[in-house]
């Protein structure tokens, strides 16, 4: 509905403006994809949640599970024409066959940014800066950018003798944010791990002195120099993004103001483009969960003063005043003031009710008396006050009002 769309467009435009500020350019990828493009990139659970079907031509089709894999395919097909490293943002719908619940839908928007073609940790630091900027400018005050390293996690798993089952173990560890430690330990025991309790305690209690923390330390150092406020950053060794393609630093963002899961997530991927071409490019990116952001901002009361696109309604007093109303309406449009015309003569009360229901702040009345005096009556809907203004001063009055 229009009022909800006005909120969504407001937030989406803020996010786009921030992405552009950091030098990211917009792209778009297909919705209808060959199934082999999507399937097999997210693990068994991801495949189960991917919408796939045969079209009328017998071709196996899938809908995007996220925007990262379609982006990697686009880069693989066009890398010779792209500036490298390539920075892009993308805002599109994706689909997942899940049970809908609060903050989780089957069809939803993701707002992605990625840097591809560079292995520098400066990329991750910049993403942290973008994340902080987005959340602060959207009005969030209590949020944490949780950070871990898949390389560090793999190092820990190697010490505990986890070999071919590493991906399965990581998916189970990823459940720590949803279920009790004891349940995770039981799942790891069922998988055949020898010391699951010690593994979880090592991560939860951050007993990491024997492991290489240089990547994490360098990341935090770059963030500090880039002006990322350290109060928004948190090292979390238990953060284990469940998708198969992550290889380095990973992110998840949570807020106490939105207690229904991660609002933003992503990380480093080194081998994704190689699935679609001989060349390979390391990339890193994050996806903002647009629907969860909207839900959180609604609960935070960020949309109390939303208005419609129209700033002015020009009424039609009677048949004899139609020409005058048309002239005023045309002058408002030519001056760049968002306006609309009530299309037929009606009782003014009905026209005022229309403006009120739509949230139009100003209503212009120009009946025979106003026309005779070369004026219009301008009603301010919020206060109910009305004032007469010379018709030739109407544009300057409304323009200065919005400038102030």
HSE value, Cβ hemisphere, 13 Å, CA-based, for 103: 17
Nearest CA to 85 out of 124, 118, 123 is that of 118
Residue 393: the pLDDT is 94
Per-residue model confidence (pLDDT) at position 170: 87
Mean pLDDT over all residues of the chain? 92
Q: Among 57-61, 103-107, 238-242, which range has the highest average pLDDT?
A: 57-61
Render pLDDT for 344-382 as a digit per residue (tens, 0 to 9). Answer: 999 999 999 999 998 899 999 999 999 999 999 999 998
pLDDT of residue 325: 96
> Between these two residues, 304 and 86, which has the higher pLDDT value?
86
Least-confidence region, from 15-24, 59-68, 269-278, 308-317: 269-278
- Residue 224 sits at φ, ψ, to 5 deg, of -60, -45
At which residue do the structure tokens 């959180």 appear?
Answer: 296
Domain 312-403 class in CATH: alpha beta
Token digits for 152? 């560090």
**Phi, psi (rounded to 5 degrees) for 244:** -65, -30
Report the distance separating Cα 96 and Cα 108, nearest Å: 9
- Indicate where the chain has its CATH 3.40.50.800 domain(s): 312-403
What single-letter DSSP state applies at residue 42?
S
State the average pLDDT over residues 184-188: 92
Residue 208 phi/psi, 5-degree rounding, is -120, 15
Is the pLDDT confidence value at 123 over 90?
A: yes
Instruction: Examine the pLDDT at 311 and tell me if it is beyond 80.
Output: yes
> Residue for token digits 């045309």?
330
Which two structure tokens, joined as six digits, stand for 14?
Answer: 């803020």
pLDDT digit string, tens, across residues 140-160: 999 999 999 999 998 999 998
Q: Are 110 and 92 in contact (CB under 8 A)?
A: yes
Strand order in the sheet with 60-62: 33-34, 60-62, 52-54
pLDDT at 404: 43
Torsion, CA 185, CA 189, CA 192, CA 197, rounded to 10? 50
The CA-atom distances, in angstroms, between 61 and each of 69, 158, 304, 325 are: 15, 38, 42, 54
CATH classification of 2-299, choosing from 3.30.930.10, 3.90.1150.10, 3.40.50.1980, 3.40.50.150?
3.30.930.10
pLDDT reading at 179 higher than 60: yes
pLDDT band at 25 (very low <50, low <70, confident <90, very high): very high
109 within 8 A of 290, measured Cβ to Cβ: yes
Overall residue count recorded for the chain in this entry: 404
Q: Please, where in the chain does CATH 3.30.930.10 lie?
A: 2-299
Instruction: Give the pLDDT score at 174.
Output: 86
Question: Rounded mean pLDDT of 112-127?
Answer: 97
In 3D space, the residue among 103, 30, 102 whose CA is nearest the CA of residue 73 turns out to be 30
Examine the pLDDT at 9 and tell me if it is beyond 80: yes
217 or 271, which is more confident? Answer: 217
Residue 244 has pLDDT above 70, yes or no: yes
pLDDT score of 242: 60
């Amino acid at each position: 509905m229009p009022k909800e769309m006005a909120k969504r467009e407001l937030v989406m435009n803020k996010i786009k403006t921030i992405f552009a500020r950091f030098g990211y350019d917009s792209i778009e990828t297909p919705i209808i994809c060959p199934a082999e493009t999507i399937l097999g990139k997210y693990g068994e659970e991801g495949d189960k949640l991917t919408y796939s079907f045969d079209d009328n031509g017998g071709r196996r089709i899938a809908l995007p599970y996220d925007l990262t894999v379609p982006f990697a395919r686009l880069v693989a097909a066009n890398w010779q024409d792209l500036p490298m490293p390539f920075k892009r943002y993308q805002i599109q719908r994706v689909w997942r066959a899940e049970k809908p619940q609060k903050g989780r839908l089957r069809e939803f928007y993701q707002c992605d940014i990625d840097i591809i073609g560079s292995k520098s940790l400066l990329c991750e630091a910049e993403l942290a800066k973008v994340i902080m900027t987005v959340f602060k400018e959207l009005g969030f005050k209590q949020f944490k950018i949780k950070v871990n390293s898949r390389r560090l996690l793999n190092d820990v798993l190697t010490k505990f003798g986890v070999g071919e089952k590493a991906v399965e173990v990581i998916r189970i560890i990823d459940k720590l944010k949803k279920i009790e430690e004891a349940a995770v330990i039981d799942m790891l025991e069922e998988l055949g791990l020898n010391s699951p309790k010690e593994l979880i305690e090592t991560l939860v209690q951050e007993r990491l002195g024997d492991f290489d923390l240089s990547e994490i330390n360098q990341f935090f150092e770059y963030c500090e120099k880039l002006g990322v406020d350290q109060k928004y950053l948190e090292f979390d060794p238990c953060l284990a993004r469940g998708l198969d393609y992550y290889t380095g630093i990973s992110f998840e963002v949570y807020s106490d103001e939105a207690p229904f899961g991660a609002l933003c997530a992503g990380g480093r991927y080194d081998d994704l483009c190689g699935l679609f071409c001989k060349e390979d490019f390391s990339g890193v990116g994050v996806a903002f969960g647009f629907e969860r952001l909207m839900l959180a901002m609604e609960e935070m009361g960020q949309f109390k003063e939303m208005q419609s696109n129209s700033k002015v309604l020009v009424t039609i007093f009677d048949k004899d005043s139609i020409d005058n109303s048309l002239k005023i309406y045309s002058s408002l449009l030519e001056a760049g003031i968002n306006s609309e015309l009530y299309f037929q003569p009606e009782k003014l009360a009905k026209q005022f009710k229309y403006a009120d229901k739509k949230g139009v702040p100003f209503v212009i009345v120009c009946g025979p008396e106003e026309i005779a005096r070369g004026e219009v009556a301008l009603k301010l809907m919020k206060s109910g006050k009305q004032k007469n203004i010379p018709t030739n001063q109407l544009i300057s009055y409304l323009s200065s009002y919005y400038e102030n």
